[in-house]
Amino acid sequence: MPTFVYMTRCDGCGHCVDICPSDIMHIDKTYRRAYNIEPNMCWECYSCVKACPQHAIDVRGYADFAPLGHSVRVHRDEQKGTIAWRIKFRNGTEKNFLSPITTKPWGQAIPKLAEVPAPSKEMRDSELLYNEPKYIRLDDGGLRTLESAGLKLKMGVYY
Amino acid sequence: MFTSNPFAALSASLSPAVMQAYVVVMFILVIAGTLFDVVHKGSARYFFENFRRSKAKAARPVGGGEALSIAVQTAVVDVLASGEFCNPRRRIAHLLGMYGFVLYVLATVVLVFNASASPIWTQLWWLGGLMICVGGYWFWFFIRVDVAAEGNSPFRLVKADLFILSLLASATLGLLWAASGGGVGVLFGLYILATTVLFAGVPWSKFAHMFFKPAAAFEKRVSEANGTAANLPTQTRDDPEQRARHSMELLRDAPMDMGLGIKREAPRHY
């Protein structure tokens, strides 16, 4: 379900171009509005949809169910710290979700790679990705479980 | 220079009736061009169909009093304060251009139709023209997204630039013409040419946005009030019932205004 831009709503601010992990959101040279240059390469991550201040970006549904009136729209409210979803099913059912934004500031939860020792030659030659052993706990500590992390399983979605 | 009416001085070589007729023709061209634009693009039909659809799907009806209040909010926030812009620099540039254009046009009409108008109108004409130039050139050279972000040359022209370029040319050439002493000459000819393109080019430029943008902003606010909101979510943390949901536990004690996140920085990371 790649994204597309309603050009009449877009004001060409560039937030979607900035955030797209696939670098496929660009500014049209003629109309100066954003557009998805390569829908086939869209990861469907919704980053641009959430970042657009004008709600000018939507997601094109698959052809087998899109014409039947479904809708999946999202509103990311930074000031209130929430992200809200409104899902309309093709039979008219509507579901609404409201959750906290869990994006962490740069440098807080995401490691600063500049401060991490560079990979050794042995690591470079290994088939494992950089830092991979640490993430999958092959180096030390055994399997990561809720218990080892001091957590308890709770009902429902829990942050 | 700032107190003498440049159009009064021009009347020695050009009859005031000709100047007044030109202003009336430009006015008619704007009305005709806007109507042509509305019919050609079907924007009014689209607007009313959209409005009717939104009304039919409304979760709650919007009464006459509320609609009036929404109209006032649209006029004050979206029209008079250019509230739709999320980039503050673009908003300031737009406000300068918009109020400059209003002053410039209004003062031109007063000065053309009343040769003995108070010098304050000449000063307002100058102020309006300068505001257009400051806002317009700032936008053209520094804020335009393809120049600021995509790195295109500011001298790359496309058809979409017709409005901003003819507006800037009209204001700049008008001020240069008045500063050089007025009268009929090359500068005057270029000034009239740019002004004619500005007002006669409505069907091909974005001049008509000053008429349809307020209508679109009003429709957007009405759809938010009646619950359709173009299918966007309407639940917010302001609602105590939503705050009590278990999915919101993380934000239970968080302040209602948590400040900006990714929008804290201008989008220039690409």
Q: Cβ contact (<8 Å) for A100 and B230?
A: no
Q: Cβ contact (<8 Å) for B251 and A81?
A: yes
User: What value of ipTM does the predicted structure carry?
Assistant: 0.77
Instruction: List, for residues A71-107, the tens digit of each pLDDT value.
Output: 889 999 988 889 999 988 888 888 999 999 887 655 5
Min Cα separation A125/chain B (Å): 31
CB-based contact (8 Å) between A82 and chain B? Answer: yes
Token pair for residue B51? 């409005």
Whole-number percent of chain B with pLDDT over 70: 99
Burial class (CB in 10 A: 0-12, 13-18, 19+), A124: exposed
Q: pLDDT class for B92, splitting at 50, 70, 90?
A: very high
Does the CA dihedral A59-A62-A65-A66 come out positive or negative? positive
CB-based contact (8 Å) between A69 and chain B? Answer: no
Is B203's pLDDT higher than 50?
A: yes
Q: What pLDDT sits at residue B173?
A: 96
Count of positions (residues) in chain B: 270
Query: Which one of A10, A20, A58, A78 would you mutate to disrupt binding with B, by most B Cβ within 10 Å of its Cβ?
Result: A78
For A100, residues 6+ apart whose C-beta sits below 8 A from its C-beta are A81, A82, A83, A159, B247, B248, B250, B251, B254
Is A1's pLDDT higher than 80?
A: no
Min Cα separation B131/chain A (Å): 22
Is B8's pLDDT higher than 90?
A: no
Count of positions (residues) in chain A: 159
Q: Cβ contact (<8 Å) for B247 and A15?
A: no
Which residues of A are tagged catalytic? 43
Q: pLDDT class for A157, splitting at 50, 70, 90?
A: low
Q: pLDDT class for B5, splitting at 50, 70, 90?
A: confident
Q: pLDDT class for A28, splitting at 50, 70, 90?
A: confident
Contacts of A100 in chain B (CB under 8 A): 247-248, 250-251, 254
Q: Whole-prediction pTM value?
A: 0.78
Is A3's pLDDT higher than 80?
A: yes
Whole-number percent of chain A with pLDDT over 70: 75
Contacts of B256 in chain A (CB under 8 A): 80
Is A159's pLDDT higher than 50?
A: no
**Average pLDDT of the residues in B128-132:** 97
**Average pLDDT of the residues in A62-74:** 75
Q: Cβ contact (<8 Å) for A14 and B149?
A: yes
